[in-house]
């Protein structure tokens, strides 16, 4: 369960960083951040689903 909490925190920080890059017009940083953030959020959602419901 502690890994899910860490994934949630890292996902929040990744989204904040990506939005910061967009706000400061850093196109390369925004694209690279989005490429990192999208799969990370997907893995986080899968981990939350596994922790709450369970994958059988």
| Predicted pLDDT of residue 1 | 84
CA separation, residue 28 to residues 14, 33, 38, 46, 55 (Å): 15, 8, 16, 28, 37
- Is the confidence at residue 56, as pLDDT, over 80? no
| Predicted pLDDT of residue 54 | 84
Domain ranges of the chain: 2-52
Tell me the per-residue pLDDT of 1-55, one tens digit each, with 9 for 90 and over: 899 999 999 999 999 999 999 999 999 999 999 999 999 999 999 999 999 998 7
Q: How many helices (H) and strands (E) does the chain have?
A: 2, 0
| Predicted pLDDT of residue 13 | 97
């Amino acid at each position: 369960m502690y890994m899910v909490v860490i994934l949630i925190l890292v996902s929040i920080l990744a989204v904040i960083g990506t939005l910061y890059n967009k706000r400061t017009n850093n196109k390369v940083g925004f694209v690279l951040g989005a490429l990192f953030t999208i799969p990370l959020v997907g893995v986080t959602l899968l981990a939350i689903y596994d922790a709450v419901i369970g994958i059988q």
